[in-house]
Every structure is written in structure tokens, then in C-alpha cells.
Amino acid sequence: MTGTAGAATGAGGDVGGSRIRLLVADDQALVRGALAALLGLEPDIEVVAEAGTGREAVDLAIARQADVAMLDVEMPELDGISAAAELREALPGCRVLMVTTFGRPGYVRRALQAGATGFVVKDTPARALAAAVRDVARGIRVIDPVLAAETLTSGDSPLTEREEQVLAVARTGGTIADISRSLHLSEGTVRNYLSSAMGKAGARTRAEAVRIAESNGWLL
């Protein structure tokens, strides 16, 4: 595990001499429980809360005064990246470590912009994950090295905010009229946004544009 600063540290890397207060958020109960159980075995880490949604994660992190919030990217009510942005405003002392199954460059860039300090994938070994929690608690940026390299070479999303919104709704398979009603746009405007998004993605169809955008992490 590497980042903009060093790699794994040993146990005992607590914050201010006390145990690191950790919140674990994931919408899959089995994954969430496993992460909490593994990290709770560390002598310097205390799991103070578990959350199944992004909204619950923000509320519990504030209530329990977490030092580190470990957030999944894709969660109901509020995605992990939006939750990170809210925590940056509401609880500046809480660092955010994003942990996700989907190692998409666009997600990394969005997460860092939202204020996350670290970004790793869920198959990270338990020992390395604990080390990432310690480093993030100290303010050291930790990013999966493969994701870091891909993020540097992938560039920013070419889509505008409106194009992203239209594609996000389009992935549900709705018609132009459905998208129009959902976003309160005219059908002609929706067609224009879809056409522009398809061109930027190099896609021949709406479905292909959605797939390319998702694979690059341009959509949440």
C-alpha cells in the first residue's frame, strides 16, 4: 500500500495516545461486519459505529466523534463521496478512507476532491487496511498504487454535470420522455445532452456511453 507518503506502519499508531475511533460504512451487512470485526482486533483501533447508508454514516460519525470514517463509494441515500464532502464541512477532524470494490480512476479523483485522505480496494489485506487507517488518521494520504497510476493517466471526466445527470438517469433504461420528466428538461435538450455525452465517450449507443462512463468512474 503506497500513497503520497509512506507505506504501512505497525500497531500503536494511535491518535494523540488514544485509540483511533473508527466508523465503518458499507451497505452490505456481511462486508461491513467483516471489516469491523477484523479492524476491531487491532489494539489501537476502536470501531465506534457501523453504518449501512451514507446518511447514517455522516450522522453517526458526528455523534460518535469518529477520527476516521471508512466509507464505501456506492451506498443508498447518500453515496460515499458525497458523504465525505459533508463530513469535511461538519466534522473537519474526521479523516475519510474510501474502500470500494470498484477501482475506477474517476472515483479516486472525485473522492480526493471531496476531501477523502485515502482510497483503497476491498481486497486489500487486513494488515495493510489497518495500516491505511493509521496513516489516514495521521493525515497521510494513502492510495492504492494501481489506482493512483490509472488516475494519473486517465484525465478528468470529459462530461459536464448535466451530461452526467442525463447518463445517470439513462442507465435505468428509461425513454427520452422518462429522462425528460425526471430532470425537468425538454426532450430535445435531453437528446442533445445524450448525443454530446456519446460523442465524448466515443460510444455509438446510449447504453455503450453509460457503460464507458461507469467503467471510468464518471458516474456515481
Q: Percentage of the chain with pLDDT > 70?
A: 84
Q: Cα–Cα distances in Å, from 59 out to 53, 83, 177?
A: 10, 10, 37
* CATH number attached to the domain at 2-153: 3.40.50.2300
For the domain covering 161-215, report its CATH number: 1.10.10.10
Q: What is the average pLDDT across 63-70?
A: 97
C-alpha 134/C-alpha 93 separation (Å) is 14
* 144, β-bridge pairs: none
CA distance 119 to 111: 8
How many whole angstroms separate alpha carbon 144 and alpha carbon 129? 11
Tell me the average pLDDT across 27-46: 95
Whole-structure pTM value: 0.67
Task: Name which of 143-152, 174-183, 191-200 the model is least confident about.
Answer: 143-152
Q: Which amino acid is at 195?
A: S
pLDDT score, position 13 = 46
In degrees to the nearest 10, what's the CA dihedral of 114, 116, 122, 127?
180
CB 66 within 8 A of CB 23: yes
Any idea where the domains of the chain sit in the sequence?
A: 2-153, 161-215
Q: How far is CA 4 from CA 1, 67, 131, 132, 150, in A?
A: 11, 20, 14, 12, 15
